[in-house]
């Protein structure tokens, strides 16, 4: 467990207090899985451009402690829920959802839809090549955390552009 603290924003003593609190309050049916998966959230980028999150660092998840009840293998996939908003409207507060054992999300927005490539993938209607589509999909997935099949993956971004290609998403609006 000590190796986790070298790449985390949390001190070992603080984690132990949180761990005890979490395990004291987790439902009995989820206890074994949460206990097995409980660890400090890893830092994936020490210095982010958006300083509003975790002292400028980008964490693998929104919660400072990974609280997961899933025992499924982790994979990259499309989100189940997309938080739609605009700059400084409060989408950052959605990261507290990640502290739920069934929800997973990254601490910062993927900002994928702000680029030309994102417009290409959203508007993809068969005119592009399968290779281009696969490339864009891989690029998008790289900006999302790993998630179990039985977990809810949330992505939050300002200025989302969603159309018929992503109509299966549930939409959570932040006002």
Contact between 111 and 127 under an 8 Å Cβ cutoff? The reply is no
The pLDDT of residue 105 is 86
3-state helix/strand/coil string of 58-125? EECCCCCEECCCCCCCEECCCCCEEEEECCCCCHHHHHHHHHCCCEECCCCCCCCCCCHHHHHHHCCC
Contact 59, 147 (CB under 8 A): no
Token pair belonging to 56: 């400028």
Residues linked to residue 74 through DSSP beta bridges, in sequence order: 148
Which tens digits make up the pLDDT trace of 29-44?
A: 999 999 999 988 877 6
DSSP class of residue 155?
A: E
Helix (H) or strand (E) holding 170, with range, is: strand 170-173
Task: Give every residue of the chain whose pLDDT is below 50, as ranges.
Answer: 51-54, 160-175
Task: Specify the pLDDT at position 168.
Answer: 45
The pTM assigned to this predicted structure is: 0.73
| Residues 104, 145: Cα–Cα separation, whole Å | 7
User: CA 75 → CA 22, 50, 113, 153, distances in Å?
Assistant: 25, 26, 21, 11
Token pair for residue 159? 């200025």
Q: State how far the alpha carbon of 20 is from the alpha carbons of 13, 14, 16, 31, 43, in Å.
A: 11, 10, 6, 12, 22
pLDDT number for residue 45:
61
On whether the CB atoms of residues 39 and 10 are closer than 8 A, the answer is no
**Contact assessment for residue 148 and residue 69, using Cβ atoms and an 8 Å cutoff:** no
């Amino acid at each position: 467990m000590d190796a986790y603290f070298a790449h985390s924003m949390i001190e070992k003593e603080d984690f132990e207090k949180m761990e005890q609190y979490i395990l004291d309050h987790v439902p009995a049916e989820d206890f074994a899985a949460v206990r097995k998966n409980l660890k400090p959230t890893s830092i994936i980028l020490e210095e982010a451009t958006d300083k509003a999150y975790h002292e400028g660092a980008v964490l693998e998840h929104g919660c400072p402690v990974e609280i997961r009840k899933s025992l499924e293998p982790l994979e990259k996939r499309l989100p189940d829920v997309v938080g739609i908003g605009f700059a400084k409207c409060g989408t950052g507060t959605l990261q507290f959802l990640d502290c739920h054992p069934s929800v997973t999300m990254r601490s910062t927005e993927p900002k994928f839809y702000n680029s030309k490539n994102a417009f290409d993938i959203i508007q993809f209607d068969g005119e592009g090549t399968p290779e281009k589509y696969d490339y864009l999909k891989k690029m998008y997935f790289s900006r999302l955390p790993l998630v179990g099949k039985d977990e809810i993956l949330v992505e939050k971004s300002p200025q989302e552009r969603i159309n018929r290609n992503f109509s299966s998403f549930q939409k959570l609006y932040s006002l």
